[in-house]
Amino acid sequence: MSKHLILAAAVVAAFVAPDVFAADAENGKQLYATCAACHGPAGAGNEALGAPPIAGMPAWYTVRQLNNFKTGIRGADPKDTHGQQMAPMAKMLGTDEDVADVAAYIETLQ
């Protein structure tokens, strides 16, 4: 393995919970049913609802954003109406494994 690839993996690992690498996309597919109400079954988004397209987003990015919503980093500002809608949805994912599984499934969407 090249030094660059090892370094890149180390950088990613520093920002992502290890569970993302062992995530269960099939379980994530089941959990995604709630997400589909706004983001659509294929993750194409819904502009009228302010739900952006998420299909194919890297799992590490989705995990970070869901955790930001869960912890109040995003969606806490009263002016962030879309974030305020998303925060309680993210909190429905009760465990880190659930978050990783949904993120793994979203990454598979085209």
Give SS3 for 67.
helix
With beta carbons less than 8 A apart as the criterion, state whether 92 and 56 touch. no
- Tens place of pLDDT per residue across the chain (110 aa): 566 655 555 555 555 554 566 899 999 999 999 999 999 999 999 999 999 999 999 999 999 999 999 999 999 999 999 999 999 999 999 999 999 999 999 999 99
In the chain, the amino acid numbered 54 is I
The residue segments making up the domain with residue 70 are 3-108
What's the structural domain count of the chain? Answer: 1
CA separation for the pair 39, 49 (Å, rounded): 9
Structure tokens at 9: 């993996």
Contact of 83 with 77, CB cutoff 8 Å = yes
> Does pTM surpass 0.85?
no
Q: Do 57 and 106 form a contact (C-beta atoms < 8 A)? A: yes
* Alpha carbon distance 86, 11 (integer Å): 28
